[in-house]
Chain A
Amino acid sequence: MRRQRRRWWLAIGILALALLALVSLAVGSRSIPAGTVVAALQSHDPGNDLHLIVWELRVPRLITAVLAGVALGLAGAIMQAVTRNPLAEPGLLGINAGAAVAVVLAVTLLGLTRPAHYVWFASLGSGLAGAAVFLLGRAHETGTNPVRLVLAGAGLSIVLIAITGIVILNAPPTAFDDFRHWAAGSVEGASIEAVAVLASCTIAGFAIALSIVGGLNALVLGQELGQALGAAPRTIWLLACLAVMLLAGAATAAAGPIGFVGLMAPHLARAVVGPDHRWILPSSALFAALLLLGADVLGRVVAAPSEIAAGIVVALLGGPFFIVAVRRFRVSRA
């Protein structure tokens, strides 16, 4: 019965994602008729302005939103499984804070103003922060004590957030102006190079996640029981951290710090498909992609011809939706 139901849910989810993708190609500051969108996808005519908009602007943006969503959803589900903590989210490994501090330094010290340049600094920052948390939390021997890694992540995040705040308050107002727009989290102006990086990181992260999915199921039962079932906590932890860093780091670099998706999607996934991580991981990825793409589309529709950043819309709509979902479904703990 449950198996039947969750198949239906996933099918509906994929269908919704496909529809949303089409809509996202059509709407924006200049809306394009659905027929033209389909024509542009079938045969690209470089002389046609509308075709150019679809291919140069909207397709990279669509791919970024979907991939960033998938990455955040997967990273969140992995984090919650290995820490056995329903409040865990990818940001706990210091990734968002690392990216933010790198962007702030790039803006204030180097005077960069174009989001396309932030990408590289954000990747560098989140990578360094993730590695520092990894070493300080002694992830290689943490098999028995996930608390340590979480504490290291929380500690480093707080330090980095404080540094970000101090730099911002002491910088000229224009730097704050640039930073506040990045910090809202948006997939606007996604470039095809950034998409390539994001795609390769997401695929690698997904592959690692799939390789440990059985271990995650065992670990959720608890350290001892998991070990008795043949899971190797240390290896699983190492691989899980690596996957989260790749996934969340790439997503933050491409779309800015979008926090809530990685926290919420796994809860929704568990409510729908139950406690098996072979199902939780893909459905959490699907829900997160839906959320982020939906938020992006809505942000363009509501405020047209201007737009609201996807990160803001996700929080504004995701919050109430999350509340309704938690009240309606029985949410399992981890």
Chain B
Amino acid sequence: MRAHATIRLGKLSLRWRPRTAITCAGLIAIGFALAIVLLGTGTLAFSSAEVVAALLGRSENPMAERVVWGLRLPRVVTAACVGAALGMAGAIFQSISRNALGSPDMIGFTTGAATGAIVQIILFGAEPLAVSLAAALSCMATAALVFLLALKGRVIGGYRLVLMGIGVGATLTGVNTMLLVASDLDRSISAQIWLAGSLTARSWSHAVPAALGLALIIPVALLYARRLALLEMGDDAASQLGIPVERTRLAMVMTAVGLTALATAATGPIAFIALAGPQLARRLCRSPDVPLLSGAAMGAVLLLAADLVSQRFPSGLNLPIGLTTGLLGGAYLLWRLARDAKV
């Protein structure tokens, strides 16, 4: 199998790698399978045939149709969109910082989102919708602040950006901890619950904005994907190849911030997906390209799988999705490390 093929349409040329395409298709298929199982999971269990019938509107059971369309589909769509957004955002951040540890959690954007949410919960005792909005806005405000701080003579270094992100993130962590320690216990606990991330009680008012946002941002990201891969060679080499370095970086960070804000607003912070999705996808694809689409597909699959586990988990233990992803993802990573001779 050739490593890549090129499609030319006049001036436009598209390069694609069969292995990447197959991986993405496989991941998407797994994602759909998981979604069908998830739609049948809950207090009222349905078989996959019943779920498909209900989805197509051909079910004889009106109850199944109402439960699947009204309650479970929004949750599944939210999970898939958030997973995809986090996976793609992680791929972008890792590429820009040229660091396998560079994820939106690392450079302070998730912390910024948490600050907004915690302030809303602890100081104002706000409703869930207001909390989501505050999280998204403060995520973007944090990103803007990090960007302005990293600006030096109209140039934003990738490395300086990461360091500024760490500084801002640490300051906000201090704010968050102080709010959590100083407030009364009840509100502090609700803030802690938001911080654990959640998929329960997601309605179409969560799923539709997430899906629309994703549909808007993904094409922008794909447009810059090739330039981003060249940027990894270093700023000097990339600008010699004719890449507008600063503009590419700005555009990509803005897309990644948008994706993170969208995900955090929909579910609260969810650990690990942004870090692990792109890493796993890159290993599966064995391609030097930035794993944007495959990272997104992997992120969606990871989040759906985690949701399935947390719902099927026996016992009355409260297992928030953001922590389940951490538990499963971390365990998977450790298992791979223990098994493989080289990583």
Contact partner, B327, options A154, A162, A181, A333, Cβ 8 Å: A162
Q: Are A315 and B159 in contact (CB under 8 A)?
A: no
Chain A, 130-170, contact with B by CB distance < 8 Å: what is the 0/1 string?
Answer: 00000011000000010110111011111111110110111
Q: Are B192 and A320 in contact (CB under 8 A)?
A: no
Of the listed residues B164, B192, B323, the one surrounded by the most CB atoms of chain A closer than 10 A to its CB is: B323
Q: Are B100 and A147 in contact (CB under 8 A)?
A: yes
Please, how many angstroms separate the alpha-carbon atoms of A152 and B324 in the complex?
A: 18
With known contacts A87-B166, A136-B338, A147-B343, A184–B181 Cβ distance under 8 A? yes
With known contacts A87-B101, A308-B178, A152–B167 Cβ distance under 8 A? no
A-contacting 9-mer, from B128-136, B168-176, B240-248, B257-265: B168-176
Q: Are B174 and A312 in contact (CB under 8 A)?
A: yes
Q: Are B343 and A312 in contact (CB under 8 A)?
A: no
Which residues 154-192 in A have Cβ within 8 Å of B in the complex? 154-163, 165-166, 168-170, 173, 176-177, 180-181, 183-184
| Shortest distance from the beta carbon of B152 to any chain A beta carbon, whole Å | 7
Q: Are A162 and B323 in contact (CB under 8 A)?
A: yes
Q: Are A87 and B318 in contact (CB under 8 A)?
A: no
- Chain A residues whose CB sits within 8 angstroms of the CB of B185 once the complex forms: 173, 176-177
| Shortest distance from the beta carbon of B169 to any chain A beta carbon, whole Å | 8
Q: Are B334 and A152 in contact (CB under 8 A)?
A: yes
Please, how many angstroms separate the alpha-carbon atoms of A176 and B166 in the complex?
A: 27
Check if B63 is an interface residue, CB within 8 A of chain A.
no
- Chain B residues whose CB sits within 8 angstroms of the CB of A314 once the complex forms: 174
Check if B177 is an interface residue, CB within 8 A of chain A.
yes
Q: Are A159 and B327 in contact (CB under 8 A)?
A: yes
- Chain B residues whose CB sits within 8 angstroms of the CB of A267 once the complex forms: 163
- Chain B residues whose CB sits within 8 angstroms of the CB of A159 once the complex forms: 326-327, 330-331, 334
Main secondary structure of the interface of B (DSSP, over half): helix
With known contacts A145-B342, A180-B181, A169–B100 Cβ distance under 8 A? no
| Shortest distance from the beta carbon of A179 to any chain B beta carbon, whole Å | 10
Q: Are A169 and B343 in contact (CB under 8 A)?
A: no
Q: Are B177 and A315 in contact (CB under 8 A)?
A: yes
Please, how many angstroms separate the alpha-carbon atoms of A169 and B319 in the complex?
A: 9
- Chain B residues whose CB sits within 8 angstroms of the CB of A183 once the complex forms: 177
- Chain B residues whose CB sits within 8 angstroms of the CB of A154 once the complex forms: 101, 275, 330, 333
Q: Nearest residue in B to A132 (C-beta to C-beta)?
A: B334
Q: Are A173 and B177 in contact (CB under 8 A)?
A: no
Q: Nearest residue in B to A148 (C-beta to C-beta)?
A: B343
Which residues 286-334 in A have Cβ within 8 Å of B in the complex? 308-309, 311-316, 318-320, 322-323, 326-327, 331, 333
What's the interface size class on B, roughly?
Answer: 35 or more
Please, how many angstroms separate the alpha-carbon atoms of A273 and B160 in the complex?
A: 20
Chain B, 293-336, contact with A by CB distance < 8 Å: what is the 0/1 string?
Answer: 00000000000000000000000011110111111011101100
With known contacts A159-B331, A326-B167, A327-B149, A180–B318 Cβ distance under 8 A? no
- Chain B residues whose CB sits within 8 angstroms of the CB of A323 once the complex forms: 149, 164, 167-168
Please, how many angstroms separate the alpha-carbon atoms of A165 and B163 in the complex?
A: 28
Check if B147 is an interface residue, CB within 8 A of chain A.
no
Q: Nearest residue in A to B320 (C-beta to C-beta)?
A: A169
Check if B25 is an interface residue, CB within 8 A of chain A.
no
Contact partner, A169, options B159, B162, B196, B275, Cβ 8 Å: B196
Which residues 136-163 in B have Cβ within 8 Å of A in the complex? 149, 152, 159-160, 162-163
Please, how many angstroms separate the alpha-carbon atoms of A56 and B198 in the complex?
A: 47
Please, how many angstroms separate the alpha-carbon atoms of A312 and B320 in the complex?
A: 26
Q: Are A169 and B193 in contact (CB under 8 A)?
A: yes
Please, how many angstroms separate the alpha-carbon atoms of A259 and B159 in the complex?
A: 21
Check if B180 is an interface residue, CB within 8 A of chain A.
yes
Contact partner, A322, options B166, B325, B331, Cβ 8 Å: B166
Check if B67 is an interface residue, CB within 8 A of chain A.
no
Q: Are B174 and A155 in contact (CB under 8 A)?
A: no
| Shortest distance from the beta carbon of A270 to any chain B beta carbon, whole Å | 12
| Shortest distance from the beta carbon of A98 to any chain B beta carbon, whole Å | 13
Check if B272 is an interface residue, CB within 8 A of chain A.
yes
Q: Are B178 and A316 in contact (CB under 8 A)?
A: yes
Q: Are A311 and B338 in contact (CB under 8 A)?
A: no
Chain B, 202-232, contact with A by CB distance < 8 Å: what is the 0/1 string?
Answer: 0000000000000000000000000000000
- Chain A residues whose CB sits within 8 angstroms of the CB of B178 once the complex forms: 184, 308, 312, 316
- Chain B residues whose CB sits within 8 angstroms of the CB of A177 once the complex forms: 185
| Shortest distance from the beta carbon of A257 to any chain B beta carbon, whole Å | 10
Q: Are A319 and B334 in contact (CB under 8 A)?
A: no
Contact partner, A155, options B162, B330, B342, Cβ 8 Å: B330
Q: Are B170 and A319 in contact (CB under 8 A)?
A: yes
Please, how many angstroms separate the alpha-carbon atoms of A327 and B156 in the complex?
A: 12
| Shortest distance from the beta carbon of A172 to any chain B beta carbon, whole Å | 10
- Chain A residues whose CB sits within 8 angstroms of the CB of B325 once the complex forms: 162
Pairs A-B, 10 closest by C-beta atoms: A319-B171, A315-B174, A162-B326, A159-B330, A155-B333, A158-B330, A316-B174, A323-B167, A162-B327, A322-B167
A-B contact pairs, 17 of them (CB 8 A): A85-B101, A154-B330, A155-B329, A162-B324, A162-B330, A165-B196, A166-B318, A166-B327, A169-B323, A170-B317, A176-B185, A180-B180, A184-B178, A263-B166, A308-B178, A311-B177, A314-B174
